[in-house]
A = this chain, B = another copy of it.
Amino acid sequence: MASYDDKLIELCEKAKNTKYELQKLSNEERNKALYEVADNLIRHSADIIAENDKDIANAKERGVSLPLQDRLMLNEERIQAISEGLKQVASLPDPLGDVLERFERPNGLKIEKVRVPLGVIGIIYESRPNVTADAFALTFKAGNSVILKGGSDAINSNIAIVKYIKEALKTVGVNESAVGLIESTDRETTTKFMQMKEYVDVLIPRGSKNLIASVVANSKIPVIETGAGNCHIYIDKAADHDKALSIIINAKTQRLGTCNTAESLVVHKDVLDSVFVDAAKALREKKVELFADRSSLEAFSDAVPASEEDFATEYLDLKMSVKTVDDIDEAIAHINRYSTHHSDAIITEDKAAADKFLNEIDSACVYVNASTRFTDGFEFGFGAEIGISTQKLHARGPMGLKELTSYKYKIIGNGQIRG
């Protein structure tokens, strides 16, 4: 694949050169481009669907499961939704140019800390071709060039979508290298891409645990880790029975496959026979299988004994682990140990317990009496989301447009030198 090496470098160089042009565009110019892209995808939806058909045919040939085929599939309606998403991103406030701080030093230097684009963002993702347009829209609105590496199963769809994004950018006089797609589908190329530190400022992986772990292990480019969510709900001894039940059912069963879905119940021993048993029954009605420690299994026998591994598992399935604790300190220690530090909740009417939990749980989002399912850029009112960061560097929790920016210091002097 030596031939693609040259292409990869060319792609990276173009993205880097273009980032300087993008930084000069006004919010209006960026929005105009996003609208043109939105319209152009609709205009060429027949062609995009034809290319998507090839991906679907390949998937069928490879015996891919029906749900995965569905994730891959594009139709008029879905392209309409992609197009509306682009316009929605355009309608968001400009994340750039804010003066974050302004101060003057005793020597007269005037210093401004201003928000600027990150530069070139690399996004490595899987399956769904709508991410292609979505990731472009968010990174572009925040003034960045983007290099996309989608899943091989969606390669024809992605090539078509990027083609019509580029065409639209050209139409409005924006450099089409604002977006680049890595068309090679071999792993070697992806690994090489992760070494392109000279060109790419930040890498964001979106997808399975394995994909993310591989990017973290191999990248020389700074990475924002997203996604993994082993989320807990702690039923405190002062939990309200009805709130607990509705939150637990919602957090576990509203959508099984998302990172903010609850995977583990932590139960204060005093409410094992009351709140917990009723919650367990309600979960069983929803076909959720419980993996319970000894005490919770005694309280609710229609469960399976939990192993140590269960507490560390993000099931993404009709499964949930149960851990009994003697007090809130044990609950906090357990959660801090097993959580992926994404989202964890306490159900309690006790203000002191709530405050303790909020302060001591080491997660991006810590809830009192609400479902963990709210950890989401749209639910937080950011109007968009590129992912949910589970690391502490740069951005934590839901990432919107502001999280796709950096800052710089502008320092104005009149001849100052250092003594």
A residues whose Cβ falls under 8 Å from a Cβ of B: 19-20, 23-24, 103, 105, 109, 111, 118-119, 197, 201-202, 216-217, 220, 222-225, 240, 242-243, 246-247, 249-251, 254, 333, 336, 354, 358-360, 362-371, 373-374, 379-381, 391-394, 396-397, 406-418
Interface on chain A toward B: helix, strand, loop, or mixed SS?
mixed
> Bound state CA distance, A415 and B249, in angstroms?
12
**Are the CB atoms of B371 and A417 closer together than 8 Å?**
yes
> Bound state CA distance, A388 and B397, in angstroms?
26
A411 CB contact (under 8 Å) in B118, B222, B242, B370: B370
Do A392 and B247 form a contact, CB below 8 Å, given A105-B380, A408-B364?
Answer: no
Distance in Å from the Cβ of A374 to the closest Cβ of chain B?
A: 6
Do A379 and B119 form a contact, CB below 8 Å, given A367-B411, A406-B392?
Answer: no
**Are the CB atoms of A416 and B371 closer together than 8 Å?**
yes
Q: Assembly of this chain: how many copies?
A: 2
Do A105 and B379 form a contact, CB below 8 Å, given A243-B415, A246-B415?
Answer: yes
**Are the CB atoms of B23 and A360 closer together than 8 Å?**
yes
> Bound state CA distance, A322 and B358, in angstroms?
56
**Are the CB atoms of B397 and A408 closer together than 8 Å?**
yes
**Are the CB atoms of B416 and A393 closer together than 8 Å?**
no
**Are the CB atoms of A217 and B217 closer together than 8 Å?**
no
**Are the CB atoms of B20 and A416 closer together than 8 Å?**
no
Quick one: closest B residue to A250, CB to CB? Answer: B417
